[in-house]
């Protein structure tokens, strides 16, 4: 018997507005037929500019000791934003930690994100109507939750889908593969979005996959896969619209790779100069999603220097206000971390909480002789004073 | 002799052992070009080449599973798990395979491997970058668990781990990665796994601790002996499993009182085991119940409240007082 082809596949790459400013009118549409109305183009641009400026603010907060480790989003604004724009407001967005732009589009308050990175869990107490999950620090774990959230919706007869984000690095984790397999074989409409930003801290994407694309990871699980220019807001919107339509119509998942680039360090604790060339970074700066869109808007006479100056002033003001709100939230009460462990705090934990500044763990002060009790009380007062200084 | 911090001492131990033993291979996330996020493996890829020091895909189960195979195949892999909070995905490979391979095959296959893991809180890190899971692995038969508290100990213990025929989890307390410097011999020396160190001698009370908490204990001891004139003995367990119960029992039999200090949560923390063993071996010598100063039975909070969670000199002092006053 002759050898036949058992399987053959092709991955489409979608680009509409390229780095040189060429616009594909066939895909993107012209004028009133454009896939993004002019009024929205301006809004999307403003969202990216605002996110970029907040990155800068957060970086300076970290450097001046007002914030802990912070991962910048710089360069990747168009990925999550395109998805957030294309999704329905009641679809789930299940993100990692570099999707600020999309989260803000969904209405997540900026101070919530700031508060999280200021070391405060209350930043994660995001209002549920936004249909977003908390920031996930352990990489590659959230995609299974996206499948579960969508399965729950399906079970209840809702047509809500989920879009989940992860990086090129996270797609090496076992949970990622399990999520793809579960969603595809159990018919769960999840849109998997791989933000390929080329670097997992210092590890280049070629170490995370020897494949030519990350999009093809989805093929083996039997879902349609697409790749798009992640620095092109038109391409991310267009690709997500197709992916979402597929998911909602068929009730099955699909996979989108957005090719982008992490322009900044991995986090404020990282120094990317140690492991990558400035030339590479510069080449990607020329493909910046914000500059590209601004040039397009100027050429279309949707934008000018005056509007740009006004926008810069506006976002600086808005972001400064967000910092004021985040820093204005009173410090968590000491012992606050006991209160959300269980719906009903177990008795033993209540004792630990209520005595954390007054006696030793497991020690009942009444077991001490009277004079020692007085001394224990004095030590407790010192402990309370010392802890208050923390 | 050189004046080194913990990071440098570990780096030196790795270099010296890698030069002697060509079967030692380092792997993990960002350990190569970047030298590890804490720079512990700085310069090693350049020195030993990409075959012996290499970056892996971002997958902890993969890193440990691959290392188990390498160990079964005759090498001594040294995988790094970037933060203890990322041990989760690797748990299955560590506990279902690394810990069991020797007994499962009655010694036909073994897993000589040293897993390096930055551990513990106190550095303002994000979630899952500040935990203390040593008891989970001490509870898993077949594993050795080491946690040094000083540069000198780190080098000697790591060399022992790198020569050990069984899997060793080598926890490196990140709070003191750069906080302490001391003289560390360049000459070869080893510290046996399973032997505690008496940090200071005393007669009134014994403190047992390990990792970064040892530093908090030293501060408390200084304060208490100055103010209250009490004489306190501090034992740094150094290895959580196997642990040096003889040293603990001998000390507690002498002092009659004991406080155990660790960052991990109280319940089923390794202090529970120490307290139970003291009860078994020193019951008649005990003057007071064993006291524990530990993390609380909550999730390690985000960093705004981490200092409220971690045992500090004040809490240790209070426990010392209560134990002495009992």
Please report residues of B whose CB lies closer than 8 A to that of A200: 29, 58
Tell me if A203 and B304 make a contact (CB, 8 A cut-off): no
Tell me if B291 and A360 make a contact (CB, 8 A cut-off): yes
Check CB contact of A59 with chain B, cutoff 8 Å: no
CA distance A182 to chain B (A): 18
Taking only residues 257 to 286 of chain A, the set having a beta carbon closer than 8 angstroms to any beta carbon of chain B reads 269-270, 274-275
Tell me if A332 and B85 make a contact (CB, 8 A cut-off): no
Tell me if A349 and B297 make a contact (CB, 8 A cut-off): yes
Compute the Cα dihedral for B13, B14, B15, B16 and give only its sign.
Answer: positive
Q: Identify the H or E element spanning B61.
A: helix B60-72
Please report residues of A whose CB lies closer than 8 A to that of B261: none
Q: What is the pLDDT of residue B225?
A: 87
pLDDT tens for chain B, residues 1 to 326: 799 999 999 999 999 999 999 999 999 999 999 999 999 999 999 999 999 999 999 999 999 999 999 999 999 999 999 999 999 999 999 999 999 999 999 999 999 999 999 999 999 999 999 999 999 999 999 999 999 999 999 999 999 999 999 999 999 999 999 999 999 999 999 999 999 999 999 999 999 999 999 999 999 999 888 888 899 999 999 999 999 999 999 999 999 999 999 999 999 999 999 999 999 999 999 999 999 999 999 999 999 999 999 999 999 999 999 899 88
Is 60 exceeded by the pLDDT of residue A390? no
A12-328 CATH fold:
Rossmann fold (3.40.50)
Taking the domains of chain B in order of start, what are their residue ranges? 2-184, 197-325
Tell me if B325 and A369 make a contact (CB, 8 A cut-off): yes
Is 70 exceeded by the pLDDT of residue A253? yes
Residue in the block written with tokens 């299955």: B92
Out of B76, B97, B129, B321, which one is annotated catalytic?
B129
Q: What is the distance between the alpha carbons of residues A227 and A13, in angstroms, rounded to a whole number?
A: 5
Task: Name the closest residue on chain B to residue A383, using Cα atoms.
Answer: B314
Residues with Cβ within 8 Å of residue A195, at least 6 apart in sequence: A76, A79, A80, A98, A165, A166, A167, A168, A230, A258, A260
* pLDDT (mean) for A21-42: 94
Tell me if B297 and A202 make a contact (CB, 8 A cut-off): no
Q: What is the pLDDT of residue A378?
A: 74
Q: Is the pTM of this model over 0.95?
A: no
Q: What is the CA radius of gyration of chain A?
A: 25
Interface test with B, best of A137, A194, A387 (most B CBs within 10 A): A137
* pLDDT (mean) for A278-290: 97
Task: Name the closest residue on chain A to residue B314, using Cα atoms.
Answer: A383
Tell me if B266 and A375 make a contact (CB, 8 A cut-off): no
Please report residues of A whose CB lies closer than 8 A to that of B323: 360
Tell me if A68 and B307 make a contact (CB, 8 A cut-off): no
CA distance A253 to chain B (A): 23
Angle, helices B151-162 vs B6-20, to 10°: value is 30
Q: What is the distance between the alpha carbons of residues B266 and B261, in angstroms, rounded to a whole number?
A: 10
Q: What is the distance between the alpha carbons of residues B166 and B71, in angstroms, rounded to a whole number?
A: 10
Q: What is the pLDDT of residue A375?
A: 73
Please report residues of B whose CB lies closer than 8 A to that of A360: 291, 293, 315, 318-319, 322-323
Interface test with B, best of A68, A118, A166 (most B CBs within 10 A): A68
Task: Name the closest residue on chain A to residue B228, using Cα atoms.
Answer: A375
Tell me if A137 and B128 make a contact (CB, 8 A cut-off): yes
Per residue in A191-220, pLDDT (tens digit) is 999 999 999 999 999 999 999 999 999 999
Assign A376 a pLDDT band (cuts: 50, 70, 90): confident
Please, are residues A216 and A225 in contact by the beta-carbon 8 Å criterion?
Answer: yes
Question: Residue B25 has which token pair?
Answer: 């291979």
* pLDDT (mean) for A12-40: 94
Taking only residues 118 to 137 of chain A, the set having a beta carbon closer than 8 angstroms to any beta carbon of chain B reads 118-121, 137
The burial class, CB within 10 Å (0-12 / 13-18 / 19+), for A286 is exposed
Cβ atoms < 10 Å from Cβ of A81: 26
Interface test with B, best of A64, A65, A362, A371 (most B CBs within 10 A): A362
Q: What is the distance between the alpha carbons of residues B204 and B100, in angstroms, rounded to a whole number?
A: 42
Strand partners, A225: A255
Is B22 one of the annotated active-site residues of the chain?
A: no
Please, are residues B70 and B83 in contact by the beta-carbon 8 Å criterion?
Answer: no
Answer yes or no: CATH 3.30.9.10 is held by domain B197-325: no
Please, are residues A163 and B154 in contact by the beta-carbon 8 Å criterion?
Answer: no
Tell me if B304 and A332 make a contact (CB, 8 A cut-off): yes
Taking the domains of chain A in order of start, what are their residue ranges? 12-328, 338-389
Tell me if B30 and A203 make a contact (CB, 8 A cut-off): yes
Is 80 exceeded by the pLDDT of residue A183? yes
Assign A365 a pLDDT band (cuts: 50, 70, 90): low
Residue, of A128 and B220, whose pLDDT is higher? B220
CA distance B312 to chain A (A): 10
Residue A267 has, within 13 A of its CA and on its CB side, a CA count of 13
Check CB contact of A345 with chain B, cutoff 8 Å: no
Task: Name the closest residue on chain B to residue A123, using Cα atoms.
Answer: B302
Q: What is the pLDDT of residue B8?
A: 98
Q: What is the distance between the alpha carbons of residues B124 and B305, in angstroms, rounded to a whole number?
A: 10
Q: What is the pLDDT of residue A174?
A: 96
Please report residues of B whose CB lies closer than 8 A to that of A363: 289, 291, 319, 322
Q: What is the pLDDT of residue A377?
A: 74
Residue in the block written with tokens 């990175």: A117
Q: What is the distance between the alpha carbons of residues A309 and A316, in angstroms, rounded to a whole number?
A: 11
Check CB contact of A330 with chain B, cutoff 8 Å: no
- What value does the mean pLDDT of chain A take? 93
Question: Nearest CB to A207: which of B57, B127, B326?
Answer: B57
Tell me if A360 and B88 make a contact (CB, 8 A cut-off): no
List, by residue number, the catalytic residues of A: 262, 266, 275
Least confident of A72-81, A121-130, B37-46: A121-130
Cis peptide before B242 (omega within 30 of 0): yes
Task: Name the closest residue on chain B to residue A345, using Cα atoms.
Answer: B298
Residues with Cβ within 8 Å of residue B177, at least 6 apart in sequence: B5, B6, B7, B38, B118
Residues with Cβ within 8 Å of residue A72, at least 6 apart in sequence: A55, A58, A59, A98, A263, A264, A265, A267, A268
B2-184 CATH fold:
Rossmann fold (3.40.50)
Q: Could you give the ipTM of this predicted complex?
A: 0.89
């Amino acid at each position: 018997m002759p050898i036949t082809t058992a399987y053959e596949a092709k991955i489409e790459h979608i680009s509409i507005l390229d780095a040189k400013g060429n616009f594909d009118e066939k895909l993107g549409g012209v004028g009133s037929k454009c896939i993004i109305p002019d009024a929205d183009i301006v809004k999307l641009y403003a969202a990216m500019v605002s996110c970029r400026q907040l990155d800068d603010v957060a970086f300076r907060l970290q450097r001046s000791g007002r914030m802990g480790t912070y991962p910048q989003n710089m360069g990747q604004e168009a990925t999550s934003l395109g998805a957030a724009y294309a999704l329905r407001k009641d679809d789930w967005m299940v993100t990692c930690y570099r999707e600020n732009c999309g989260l803000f589009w969904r209405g997540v308050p900026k101070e919530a994100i700031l508060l999280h990175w200021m070391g405060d869990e209350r930043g994660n107490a995001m209002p549920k109507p936004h249909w977003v999950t908390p920031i996930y620090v352990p990489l590659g774990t959230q995609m299974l939750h996206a499948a579960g959230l969508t399965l729950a919706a399906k079970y209840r007869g809702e047509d809500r889908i989920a879009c989940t984000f992860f990086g090129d690095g996270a797609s090496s984790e076992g949970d990622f593969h399990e999520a793809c397999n579960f969603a595809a074989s159990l018919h769960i409409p999840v849109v998997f979005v791989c933000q390929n930003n080329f670097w997992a801290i210092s590890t280049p994407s070629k170490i995370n996959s020897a494949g030519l694309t990350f999009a093809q990871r989805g093929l083996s699980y039997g879902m349609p896969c697409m790749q798009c220019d992640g620095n092109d807001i038109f391409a991310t919107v267009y690709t997500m619209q197709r992916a979402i339509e597929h998911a909602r119509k068929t009730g099955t998942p699909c996979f989108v790779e957005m090719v982008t680039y992490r322009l900044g360090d991995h986090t404020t604790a990282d120094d990317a100069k140690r492991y990558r060339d400035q030339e590479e970074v510069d080449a990607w700066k020329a493909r910046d999603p914000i500059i590209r869109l601004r040039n397009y808007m100027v050429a279309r006479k949707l934008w000018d220097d005056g509007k740009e100056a006004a926008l810069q002033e506006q976002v600086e003001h808005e972001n400064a206000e967000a910092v004021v709100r985040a820093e204005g939230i009173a410090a968590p009460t000491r012992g606050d971390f006991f209160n959300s462990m269980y719906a009903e705090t177990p008795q033993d934990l209540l004792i630990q909480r209520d005595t954390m500044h007054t006696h030793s763990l497991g020690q009942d002060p009444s077991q001490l002789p009277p004079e020692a009790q007085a001394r224990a009380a004095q030590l407790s007062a010192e402990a309370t004073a010392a802890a208050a200084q923390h | 002799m050189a004046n080194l911090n913990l990071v440098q001492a570990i780096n030196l131990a790795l270099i010296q052992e890698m030069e002697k033993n060509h079967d030692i291979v380092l792997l993990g996330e960002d350990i190569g070009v970047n030298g590890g996020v804490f720079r512990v493996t700085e310069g090693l890829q350049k020195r030993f080449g990409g075959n012996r020091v290499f970056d892996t895909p971002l997958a902890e189960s993969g890193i440990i599973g691959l290392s188990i195979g390498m160990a079964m195949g005759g090498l001594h892999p040294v995988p790094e798990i970037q933060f203890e909070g990322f041990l989760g995905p690797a748990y299955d490979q560590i506990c279902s395979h690394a810990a069991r391979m020797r007994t499962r095959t009655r010694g036909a296959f073994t897993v000589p491997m040293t897993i390096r893991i930055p551990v513990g809180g106190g550095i303002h890190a994000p979630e899952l970058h500040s935990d203390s899971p040593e008891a989970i692995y001490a509870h898993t038969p077949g594993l050795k668990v080491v946690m040094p508290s000083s540069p000198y100990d780190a080098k000697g213990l790591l060399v022992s781990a790198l020569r050990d025929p069984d899997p060793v989890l080598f926890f490196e307390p990140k709070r003191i990665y750069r906080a302490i410097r001391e003289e560390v011999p360049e000459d070869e020396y080893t510290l046996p796994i399973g032997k505690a160190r008496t940090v200071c001698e005393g007669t009134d009370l014994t403190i047992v601790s390990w990792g970064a908490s040892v530093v908090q204990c030293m501060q408390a001891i200084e304060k208490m002996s100055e103010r209250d004139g009490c004489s306190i003995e501090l034992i740094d367990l150094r290895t959580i499993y196997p642990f040096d119960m003889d040293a603990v029992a001998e000390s507690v039999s002498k002092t009659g009182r004991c406080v155990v200090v660790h960052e991990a949560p109280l319940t089923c923390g390794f202090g529970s085991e120490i307290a139970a063993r003291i009860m078994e071996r020193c019951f008649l010598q005990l003057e007071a119940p064993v006291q524990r100063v530990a993390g609380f039975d909550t999730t390690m909070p985000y960093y705004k409240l981490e200092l409220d969670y971690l045992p500090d000199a004040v809490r240790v002092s209070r426990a010392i007082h209560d134990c002495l006053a009992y």
